[in-house]
């Protein structure tokens, strides 16, 4: 009887160990972060899904249409049009934007602008050719509704005007010949300063001749433009020791001087 009881006890212990091992196998494994697998899945399920943009949705729909066209073995012309359209959107459009110097960091911005019905802007270059020109002038107490002929301006006033614009614009601003025959001259640098330099060319004067005569190192003092000063001034030292200053900027600032 004692042997039977011992055998029964041993069998019960083995069963208990087997049950404990099965229970351990059924327990979920803990992740490296210390949480259970189920909790991790719940966290993932609770995370907000990232919404697709309008363009992403259209491209997804287009990809599905391509797949259906291939499965149904539709005529090659249809498949060619669909594939050609998708390749144009994904490759040609961004490259064309780069050639136009239209660099967009987020493509969603293009979609937003494409859906716009009204655009209000006062920035030069947004809705224009990014070129500025002088159309009217007030010189020597006379208002010209268009750029005057150089003969209409007194010689001494014209000399001051040419010198002032030439030296009181950044020497990095310049007007270069057009790249293609029959094209417009290229404006390099500040667009407002290029417009003033263009005025000199309309007056049949060359600003580069003045800059060659008065290099940037020969300027006595330059007060560059900033948001507080709202003007730019350049001081020249004359041969007799006197000084001459040229200023340009906001009209309410210049007229106070």
The catalytic residues are 122
Per-residue HEC secondary structure of the chain comes to CHHHHHHHHHHHHHHHHHHHHHHHHHCCCECCCCCEHHHHHHHHHHCCCCCCCHHHHHHHHHHHHHHHHHHCCCCHHHHHHHHHHHHHHHHHHHHHHHHCCCCCCCCHHHHHHHCCCCCCCCCCCCCCCCCCCCCCEEECCEEECCCCCHHHCCHHHHHHHHHHHHHCCCCCCEEECCCCCCCCCEEECCHHHHHHHHHHHHCCCCHHHHHHHCCHHHCCEEECCCCCCCEEEEEEECCCCCEEEEEEECHHHHCCC
User: CA 126 to CA 9: how far, in whole Å?
Assistant: 91
35 in the Ramachandran plot: left (φ > 0), alpha (ψ -120 to 50) or beta?
A: beta
């Amino acid at each position: 009887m004692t042997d039977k009881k011992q055998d029964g006890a041993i069998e019960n212990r083995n069963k208990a160990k087997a049950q404990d091992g099965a229970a351990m196998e059924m327990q979920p494994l803990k992740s490296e972060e210390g949480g259970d697998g189920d909790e991790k899945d719940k966290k993932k399920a609770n995370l907000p899904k990232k919404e697709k943009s309008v363009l992403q949705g259209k491209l997804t729909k287009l990809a599905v249409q391509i797949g259906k066209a291939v499965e149904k073995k539709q005529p090659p012309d249809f498949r060619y049009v669909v594939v050609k359209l998708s390749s144009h959107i994904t490759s040609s459009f961004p490259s064309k934007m780069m050639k136009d110097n239209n660099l967009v960091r987020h493509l969603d911005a293009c979609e937003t602008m494409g859906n716009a019905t009204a655009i209000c802007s006062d920035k030069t270059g947004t809705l224009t050719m990014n070129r500025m020109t002088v159309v009217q002038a007030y010189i020597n107490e006379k208002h010209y509704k268009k750029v005057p002929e150089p003969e209409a301006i007194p010689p001494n006033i014209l000399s001051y005007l040419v010198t002032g614009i030439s030296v009181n614009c950044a020497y990095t601003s310049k007007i270069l010949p057009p790249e293609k025959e029959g094209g417009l001259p290229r404006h390099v640098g500040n667009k407002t300063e290029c417009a003033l330099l263009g005025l000199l060319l309309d007056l049949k004067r060359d600003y580069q001749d003045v800059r060659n005569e008065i290099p940037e190192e020969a300027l006595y003092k330059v007060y560059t433009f900033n948001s507080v000063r709202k003007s730019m001034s350049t001081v020249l030292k004359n041969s007799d020791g006197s000084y001459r200053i040229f200023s340009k900027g906001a009209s309410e600032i210049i007229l106070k001087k």
